[in-house]
Amino acid sequence: MPPGAPALPGHAPVTRPRLVDWLRVPRPTAAPGVWRLGHTERPDEEPDLVPARQLFSGAFIAYLCGWLLWSLLWNRYLDGWWFFVDDWWLLPMLWAVPEEWRVPTHPDFETFAMVSSLYYGLVLGLLAIGFGRVGNWKEVWQRYGVPLWPLFVFLPGVWREIPRTVTSLTWLSNIYYVLLAAAVVAVVGRAGTWPVVRRRRARAAGAAPAAGDPSPPQDPADWPELRAAGLAEAAARLAEAARAGTLGDVDYARIRRAWQGVHARPERLAAFADTVRRHGPAACAHPSGLRDLPVRSATHDLATGQVKIGTVVDDGRNPYARRTTGVALEPALLGTSLLAVGPSGSGKSVRLVRPVVESMCLLALANRAALVAVTAQGAAVAPDGDFDLVISVGRPDATHDLDLYGGAEDPDEAARMLAEALVGDLAAGLPGGDSRRAATALAQLIGPYRCVHGHFPAVPELRELLGGAPAALSALRAALEEAGEASQLRELDARERQSARGDDIGVLLAERIAFLDRPAFADFFRTDGGGRTFSLRAIEHPMRVRVDLPERGHAEASRIIARLVFAQFNEAALTRSDRSLFACLVLDDATYTVTADSVRALQRLRSANAGVVLALRTLEDVPEPLRGPLLGAVGCRMAFAGLAPWDGGRFAEAWGTEWVQTRDVTNRQIISDEPLTKALHMMRRLVTGKAATAEAVTVREVERARWSASDLAHAVPAGHAVLSLTTVRGDHAPPLLVDLRT
């Protein structure tokens, strides 16, 4: 390869179907987490399949019995005294054909020969049907004949040679052709589902026949909703773009989103029609102007908002109706938040976080979601081009800063979020049991500071105030006295009195804020209005934001920033005025970011059309009192391969138990007093080395764990995970073993 040339790709590019074909694929309503694109329902119960050996032996025995009966009839072994009449089985044909036709010299003898051949075929067909049902030949054909049917199609010579071997028997040749034609008709009819069968199935399902349906389903590529609303010109423009290939799936989802807004506010109808007429497939564009991502690594269906993450394994632990079906995530599931636990290398980032982030980016481009992804620097879950904004904390080339106070105007609100970031992970060990004392101490300082300076203090100033620096406190007091702010002076006096106590929380806050007062963060967390600052209040808009944390050199600072983003997201999502956008926060590494207040906030996010994805290496990274509440607060739980047994025990407890049917087999030795029986038992013991026993089978229902801690730790293969799902409305799916590689 020439120098500088890009490396060859390791796999073929992912191809997507044409938009018109994609829109026409059915998407039936299904259980939570089912990949709906082209989904077909499976029966709830596994059919009771006959073992292959038993199936073939029964079919062969039925065939021999049928052939024996036909041979007895053909060779007249069942005539005479058996039924008191000779040729009794030919009487219907003999009654229908005049006797003179049976003479070989009669002109209608050929008609008699044809009628007799058809009659023989009818009798043989009835025998075949009867003994075929007895021998379960239908099951043999469905299980082994249908898959092998193409083999016979490619061997026409075989079919031509078979009748030549029986040309000496005209009637057998005719029977062969009749049976062959019937087989072809049956196979083709089964494959194509004859209209008669369709109408019969439609009547059985309570639906109208397909042929006589007065209102056939409309083509979604023609935008029938717009045509029905009188926007024929806009619908024609979009339909033409869809067939020409200039309208993508993101465009379709984005325009559909805008049309839903028109339904909510009819006064926008004229503006919507004018926008579509002028811009066509680029109408209602995302603020960035982008209409798709440069590269996709996962399979998406933007019509339903789903992203496929795997396939349910054909395993006995999974319900039969869910086996081999695709597994997908969507806002209705992520709205209950998702917790994923697994060791490093188990696939959390590659097979879960990356598809979810990519899906949220696509939905943001469709004006349907807002995304904030928090990752470590150098381990981005998606390229920079997928985001509108990348905040690299601690890097000199960063273009944007992170608002330390989350865009809050109220000092108490800002202090509460900052306290969560600084001491939220230690709240359980603080006097008072939570971070309320820390929030009060911060509010007593940042409130007076804002009153004097018009903005909240930056990190260096806040560190001095928390540390009780005399110069900083004296300057703040003097400014307050000059401004005549008596209420703020009382706040400052209370803070000075509390700082004199030995258990003052300000010392701990000063130690924690010192992790952010480092030279690497000198240009960050500015509050004087300089630079471009991002606030999480912006999640009311379809933004795509990634926050890169400096975990390698500043591990503790990264955890503080992650908790800060988590707290600010919860506050912003719950206080949004417009909740039509789905807001999603993705924490690629949620180590030491879960606090008591954040667990309580997770439960409230469901009603705010928002959700959080938390990825953990182990539940040990969560404080002990919060592990159970965290598993109870999230609606979707995911345990990856390699889980520790103690973590598996937590998941097993959260997933509960179910009633299962067990079979207990007991072998009891047979003791007989009969001399002959005792001799037979003794001979059997000499030959086999085992005593004669009788089996007693006991069937009972017992309550067992859906997934035990041992199973989660040792029975989950690599590249797999056990996933349970819950929708915002309360529908749920049991724990499923999912192959994340397909």
The pLDDT tens digits for 259-270 are: 999 988 889 899
| pLDDT > 90? residue 366 | yes
Return the beta strands (E) in 685-742 as ranges. 693-705, 720-726, 732-739
pLDDT value at residue 195: 46
- Which element (helix H / strand E) includes 276? helix 269-279
Per the structure, the complete domain to which residue 123 belongs is given by 53-198
457: left (phi over 0), alpha (psi -120 to 50) or beta: beta
Residue 251 has pLDDT above 60, yes or no: yes
The answer on 390 and 264 residing in a single domain is no
Residue 725 lies in a domain: no
Q: What is the pLDDT of residue 738?
A: 97
Determine contact, residues 372/536, Cβ cutoff 8 Å: yes
Mean pLDDT of 155-183: 52
Tell me if 41 is assigned to some domain: no
**Tokens representing 308?**
């496929």
Highest mean pLDDT: which of 78-82, 88-92, 385-389?
385-389
The pair of three-digit structure tokens given for residue 615, joined into one six-digit string: 């990825």
Q: Is the domain of 339 the same as that of 442?
A: no
DSSP E strand boundaries for 595-669: 610-616, 636-640, 657-669
Question: Of 499, 521, 543, which residue sits at a domain end?
Answer: 521
Query: Is the same domain home to 499 and 385?
Result: no
Instruction: Say yes or no: 351 and 479 in one domain.
Output: no
How many Cβ atoms sit within 10 Å of the Cβ of residue 27? 15
- State the pLDDT at residue 10: 44
Residue among 231, 293, 297, 236 nearest 258 (CA)? 231
Confidence class of residue 683 from pLDDT cuts 50, 70 and 90? confident
- The pLDDT assigned to 367 comes to 95
- Phi, psi angles (nearest 5°) of residue 201: -65, -35
**Max Cα–Cα distance, the chain, nearest Å:** 137
Give the pLDDT band (50/70/90) at residue 150: low
pLDDT at 149: 53
pLDDT tens-digit map of 519-532: 888 888 888 777 78
* Domain count for the chain: 5
Structure tokens at 182: 């019937």
Do 537 and 572 form a contact (C-beta atoms < 8 A)? Answer: yes
In this structure, are 62 and 128 located in the same domain? yes
Same-domain status, 496 and 390? no
For residue 91, pLDDT over 70 is answered with no
Same domain, 92 and 235: no
| Residue among 389, 671, 345 at smallest CA distance from 548 | 389
Averaged over 219-246, what is the pLDDT? 90
Q: Are residues 503 and 539 in the same domain?
A: no
Q: What is the mean pLDDT of residues 262-287?
A: 90
Which CATH number does the domain housing residue 316 bear? 3.40.50.300
555 inside domain: yes
| 363 shares a domain with 313 | yes
First to last CA, the chain: 33
642-677 pLDDT, tens digit per residue, is 999 999 999 999 999 888 878 888 877 777 778 878
Question: What pLDDT is stored for residue 672 in this prediction?
Answer: 74
Average pLDDT, the chain: 83
| CB-based contact 556:520 (threshold 8 Å) | no
Q: How far is CA 466 from the centre of its chain?
A: 48
Residue-wise pLDDT tens digits, 595-653: 999 999 999 999 999 999 999 999 999 999 999 999 999 999 999 999 999 999 999 99
Same domain, 419 and 351: no
Is pLDDT above 60 for 305? Answer: yes
The pLDDT value recorded for residue 664 is: 82
User: Are 442 and 456 a contacting pair, CB within 8 Å?
Assistant: no
Residue-level pLDDT at 6: 46
Residue 27 lies in a domain: no
Most confidently modeled range among 136-140, 396-400, 589-593: 589-593
What is the pLDDT confidence band of residue 86, given thresholds at 50, 70 and 90?
Answer: low
Q: Which pLDDT score is estimated for 558?
A: 93
Domain assignment present for 449:
yes
Q: Do 447 and 470 form a contact (C-beta atoms < 8 A)? A: no
CA distances from 505 to 434, 442, 458, 460, 511 (A): 12, 10, 19, 18, 10
Over its C-alpha atoms, the chain yields an Rg (Å, rounded) of 38
The verdict on residue 19 lying in a domain is no
pLDDT at 53 over 50: yes
- Its pTM stands at 0.79
Round to whole Å and give the CA distance between 413 and 408: 7
> Of the residues 501, 521, 541, which one is the last residue of a structural domain?
521
DSSP structural state of residue 48:
-
* Same domain, yes or no: 90 and 151: yes
| Least confident span in 29-33, 95-99, 346-350, 379-383 | 95-99
- The reply to whether 637 and 670 lie within a common domain is no
